Chain A
């Protein structure tokens, strides 16, 4: 074989150049993307202003506006974007809290620990993170929750929300399938009302109405109110996911448990629920991702999570107009986390159900985006087969 034939053969085999249509489209679209890409690289890297000296104004940045990105805004306000108004000297504490949360997620992915150890972790690590943020121990002055913000607040709201909502969701899902009509009606009413109404409504309800429900003279702090609203909403959506899982457990299991003499509660807790939860895990992870993104809504009630802190940076007179740079940075942070977790969820699906379609398409049927889970386990599993098409 001549020296030039091997690269040519490789090019021919590459999917982009499989046939004539592909080759033409790849060249044309590729050229367009390359052109845009070069423009972006020029704006974002070559002409960009990466940092400004302390106390300098933003004139340098404004001078290159339109031609170069001003990453200096991110560099200068990084600690504010990440930690909000948390006192400067104590910011090691929210940083440590973030590390704890990430460790929690990492530990949850270790399958061998999928038992009481996991529950202990999910109770202890969030509590430790909250203690770190609040303080009160020697060496850690108290920081009231008005000052919590940024990335730790996002982690906190989503993780604690999920943890507290989970038992509630299981109760709701079981209640919805209950033969007792009163219980069933209550659960259906709760789930359908909560799922039919935007999350923003619940946040406003929490901000304004919850104080009316407590006795005179006592107040609940705002983070707690937002957390309560999130728990209420997450419980309803996770209940639907769990319900899908319960529907996927074959009838034979119920019957076998009954034939062993197990009544409702033991058979549910020992036989059905473990299987249902195992099957719903990818959908649960997808729901977690969805709510992780949705915690950004707390900015409408005045809390400064990651996105809220970013918005506060660009209304500052010095940095007005540099929204694009700041939002791109925050988008990168969210993307890194969500994409990583969603890849893990797809890996989980592959491991747990080898029969299903193995790439992203099946994520659709596993509850990505709220509410899909209710349609997940109603027989679609059998319809969706492994595709013989090359990816």
Chain B
């Protein structure tokens, strides 16, 4: 027993056996309870008709469609809001980070106030706030009409859409029209989606702004001074000299913030947007098969997180290869 290798093997065996014992004890109890309550097991429920409705979106869904399709619609909704949020948050975040370092004191102060406000309040609160704002918009009959065909009311933002038609010119711009119960025609963005997108973007942009600022500060001051000595303007210095060198410092923490954005999109369940978690919740409450439903949701999120992480790590590697990194 004094041989360190034997000790190591024994220790590992003990740990593995211990964890396995704990997990199997819990699993056995779960199986007993499931059987006693007559709750089914397995993934057969995926083939059954869902029996609930989902707010309309790009994918068609009726209550006759299967649970599998419902979860797919949820995943699609999550990806839609996450990817759009990532793009917007990156843009806004970079702007905020640069503003924080601006020579214009006012801009830097405003950016700082924005960052502190976003970072010190819970995201859920911010989402509810944006949703409340959206519900404070006027009714459809008094909708705001900033541009022809564009209507803004508390039922959503209604926009014109291109629809195919027979005969020349084969597409037509269909404008939303107020009739009967609301706007018909065109396309719309629901207030839930808008509130979620705005909330996620503004909150994540604040964190990314700080990351960008830290990255820019990490670049050696001499680089900026040398570039200025070459006669480059401030914006060109930033774009051509500083930001490329700041990227390797920015990307790893920014990756985790963008992954947080994807995970935070699950807060949609609190404002009624039909994302993956929200549909998983309804499914597991209707079928009683909590373990399977949650396992599916976790697997989906892990796959999405892993893919995003891989993609951003590849980008990071590319940036490191391309530019000179001193990190």
**Complex: A in contact with B (CB within 8 Å):** yes
**Residue from the list A180, A297, A384 in contact with B124, Cβ < 8 A:** A297
| With contact pairs A212-B34, A215-B29, A327-B125 given, residues A342 and B290 touching in the complex (Cβ less than 8 Å) | no
Q: Does B21 contact A (CB under 8 A)?
A: no
A-B contact count (CB 8 A): 215
Interface of B is mostly: helix
Which residue of chain A has the shortest Cβ distance to B31 in the bound complex?
A212
Are A198 and B104 neighbours in the complex by a CB distance under 8 Å?
A: no
When C-beta atoms are compared, the residue in chain B nearest to A323 turns out to be B132
Is A204 within 8 A of B284, CB to CB? yes
Residues of A within 8 A of B310 (CB): none
Set B8, B291, B298: member contacting A180, Cβ < 8 A: B8
Docked CA distance A184–B16 (Å): 11
Which of B29, B128, B266 is close to A213, meaning CB atoms less than 8 Å apart?
Answer: B29
Q: Is the CB of A335 within 8 A of B120?
A: yes
B129 within 8 A of A: yes
In this complex, the member of B115, B124, B213, B260 whose beta carbon has the largest number of chain A beta carbons within 10 angstroms is: B124
Contact A197 B119 (CB under 8 A): no
Chain B residues near A140: list those with CB within 8 A.
none
B267 at the interface (CB under 8 A from A): yes
Decide yes or no: A204 and B302 within 8 Å by CB, A16-B106, A327-B129 being known contacts.
no
Q: Which of B111-158 contact A (CB under 8 A)?
A: 112, 115-117, 119-125, 128-129, 132-133, 135-136
Contact with B along A168-195 (1 / 0, CB 8 A): 0000000000011111001000000100
CB pair B105 A16 closer than 8 Å: yes
Task: Specify which chain B residues have a CB less than 8 angstroms from the CB of A21 in the assembled complex.
Answer: 103-104
Whether B26 is near chain A, meaning CB under 8 Å from some CB there, is yes
Q: Are B122 and A294 in contact (CB under 8 A)?
A: yes
What is the CA–CA distance of A289 and B119 in the complex, to the nearest angstrom?
10
Alpha-carbon separation in the docked complex, A200 to B276 (Å): 11
Q: Does A369 lie within 8 Å of B207, measured CB to CB?
A: yes
The prevalent SS among residues of A at the interface is helix
Task: From A196, A311, A370, give the contact of B301 (CB < 8 A).
Answer: A196
Partner of A196, one of B19, B103, B265, B302: B302
Please measure, in the bound complex, the distance between the C-alpha atom of A227 and the C-alpha atom of B136, giving whole angstroms: 35
A67 contacts partner chain B, Cβ-Cβ < 8 Å: no
Instruction: Assess whether B8 is in contact with A22, with CB atoms less than 8 Å apart.
Output: no
Residue of B nearest to A297 (CB): B124
A189-245 interface with B by 8 A CB criterion: 193, 196-201, 204-205, 208-209, 211-216
B67-75, B163-171, B250-258 - interface stretch: B250-258
- Known contacts: A29-B106, A201-B301. The answer to whether A360 contacts B122 by CB under 8 A is no
Contact B128 A327 (CB under 8 A): yes
For the complex of A and B, list the 6 residue pairs with the smallest distance between their C-beta atoms, beginning with the closest.
Answer: A371-B256, A323-B132, A198-B266, A338-B120, A293-B122, A182-B12
> Which residue numbers of A lie inside 8 Å of B, CB to CB?
15-16, 18, 21-22, 25-26, 29-30, 33, 179-183, 186, 193, 196-201, 204-205, 208-209, 211-216, 289, 293-294, 296-297, 299-300, 307, 311, 321, 323-324, 327-328, 330-331, 334-335, 338-339, 342, 357, 360-365, 368-372, 374-375, 379-380, 383-384, 387-389
